[in-house]
Structure 1
Amino acid sequence: MKRIVLILMILASPLFAVQPDEVLEDPVLEQRARDISTGLRCLVCRNESIDESNADLARDLRLLLRERLVAGDTDDEAVAFIVDRYGEYVLLNPTTSGSNLFLWLAGPIMLLIAAAMGWNFLRSRAKVHESGDTDTLSDAEKERLRQILDD
């Protein structure tokens, strides 16, 4: 039983990326920091939030966020400060305005273009079969084909 508990503790250790010395004494501020940090990307791990990451840079970002909250920043001001410093890439859910709007819309637009091209291709194939013009070999080609098949 002790081994199972030990194994589960070892497996769960990455879940506790926030170190005890980082935790704020004010539970309201700590909860705000946790809520904000789940939306910020670790620049080292790339697809982990800074709350989940054990990287040194993620720790620095968590501390910076907590400093901003203790200094009296609102949630939006703290996130804006970090975005200004590290760029929009630090957001796990980027904004849908400005140049990012092109990136958000590029996927669906490409899908629509591909669907239209596929539809046109299928329609053009159907027209060829409807016209009945499947006999495209000349008489000389038919004779040559007959000779090849006979051999």
Structure 2
Amino acid sequence: MRQLLIGLSLLACSAGALADIDAREAALAAQLRCVVCQNQTVAESNAPLATDMRREIRAQLHAGRSDADVLAFFEQRYGAFVRYTPPLRPSTWLLWGLPFVLGLAGLAALVATLRRRNQAVPAEPLDDAQRERARRLLDREDA
């Protein structure tokens, strides 16, 4: 009876550890980009490479590696692009800063265009000869 209780308690502990590994695997797979699909995470993708990446995540977690170690492994293999949210460091400043720079450039172009439009030279009033010519042209159109 005592052996049965020990066996059940070990089984419960291993089930808890497996659940922890499953949760960590899912979290890591959600942080990595599928290299084939590129617009899906490894967790969402059904590509064969994504399946292999999930299998590698699980193997590394079973080997006792930390989440940071697993992410570093994939980043070393595929580059910073593999992380769905790349870390902020000098090599990824362009990834993080370019959208803001482009947004500011677009806003500056819009402001410059609106200012130029508002500063356009107003049309000079017509003199009598121009007014008479316009009246004749309009009358000819009506006829």
* TM-score where L is the length of structure 1: 0.66
Query: Which of the pair is proportionally richer in helix?
Result: 2
Superposition pairs of residues 2-81 of structure 1, within 5 angstroms: 26-81=18-73
| Partner residue in 2 for 1:135 | 124
Determine what percentage of the aligned residue pairs are the same residue.
34
Superposition pairs of residues 44-123 of structure 1, within 5 angstroms: 44-123=36-115
Once the 2 structures are TM-superposed, how far is the Cα of residue 136 of structure 1 from its aligned partner? Answer: 9.5
Computed over aligned residues only, the root mean square deviation of the Cα atoms, in angstroms, reads: 2.7
Runs (4+) off by over 3 Å: 141-151
* TM-score where L is the length of structure 2: 0.69
Count of equivalent residues: 124
Gaps of 5+ in 2: 1-16
Which protein is bigger by CA-based radius of gyration? 2
Gaps of 5+ in 1: 1-24
CA, structure 1 residues 118+51, in 2 after alignment: closer, same or farther (shift >3 Å)? closer
CA, structure 1 residues 144+97, in 2 after alignment: closer, same or farther (shift >3 Å)? farther
CA distance in 2, matches of 1:120, 1:52: 44
